[in-house]
Amino acid sequence: MNVLVFDTIQEASQKAFEVFQEALANNAKVFGLATGSTPEALYEIMVNSDIDFTDSISVNLDEYYGLAGDHAQSYNYFMNEHLFNKKPFKANYLPDGTNTDSDAEVERYNKILAANPVDLQLLGIGGNGHIGFNEPGTDFNGHTQLVDLAPSTIEANKRFFASAEDVPSKAYSMGIASILESKQILLLAFGEGKAEAVKGMVEGPVTNELPASALQNHDNVTVIVDKAAASLLS
Ligand code: F6R
């Protein structure tokens, strides 16, 4: 893993933007994208730049189960608001949170991923070490699945909802195996709440108790962190 530490989120996000520019210059076509607060500064830099995704395809990591695309907390809505409405792609794919036939939805999304192998996958990390919504204990061989959110994830994400009860308890998420199939991975982590997970991911044993540690098994991973998230690294 190539770990790069920056003083501020803005500088770190600028570097992440350059990683996207470089991938595009090297003919990357499919971008795996993430939601959450971490990539917001990166998406803002993209929106205010002349980067051109009109020949690119995006596939998102995950979507809350039960939320329609027009729900303000759905990841579909987030992506439209933060990126797609202002920076159009040729096609955007996200899991369909309203599909209650989980076998069909998982099959549909895995087919999309097989037809559109990811060139560059952007990731955030949960304070508990999750990537996508692959929570501690996850099977590293998994592809897209309907997963239960960990209580700590519901607690962390309730800031976006009226209350913890309003946070969906399940989500569709690409699996660890899906993530590791991408050619290049870029993980961003900001703030001291991520420091322990970052340390485990970079320096700890590869264990499904810290899902991000699976990235040690990939040969092209860049980790971009601010000083607070890097504070426990030796
Ligand atoms: C988002 C995702 C999650 C987040 C993680 C960090 O699509 O898959 O793994 O990246 O929960 O969330 P934030 O960035 O809000 O701290």
**Per-residue confidence (pLDDT) for residue 59, from 0 to 100:** 98
Residue 125 in contact with residue 201, Cβ under 8 Å? yes
Q: Which atom of ligand 1 is nearest to the CA of 190?
A: 16
Instruction: Tell me which residue has its CA closest to atom 4 in ligand 1.
Output: 124
Residue holding tokens 């195996």? 177
Any domain includes 95: yes
Any domain includes 162: yes
pTM over 0.90: yes
> For residue range 43-84, what is the model confidence (pLDDT) as tens digits?
999 999 999 999 999 999 999 999 999 999 999 999 999 999
Instruction: Tell me the two tokens of residue 191.
Output: 């703030």
Any domain includes 234: no
Q: Which structural domain range is residue 62 located in?
A: 2-226
Instruction: Tell me which residue has its CA closest to atom 15 in ligand 1.
Output: 36
Any domain includes 186: yes
Q: Name residues whose C-beta falls within 8 Å of residue 100's C-beta, 6 or more positions apart in sequence.
A: none
**Per-residue confidence (pLDDT) for residue 111, from 0 to 100:** 98
Any domain includes 26: yes
Low-confidence ranges of the chain (pLDDT < 50): none
In sign, the C-alpha dihedral spanning 13, 135, 105, 69 is negative
Any domain includes 102: yes
**Per-residue confidence (pLDDT) for residue 30, from 0 to 100:** 98
Any domain includes 133: yes
Of 227, 226, 113, the residue nearest 180 (C-alpha): 113
The enclosing domain of 210 has a CATH number of: 3.40.50.1360
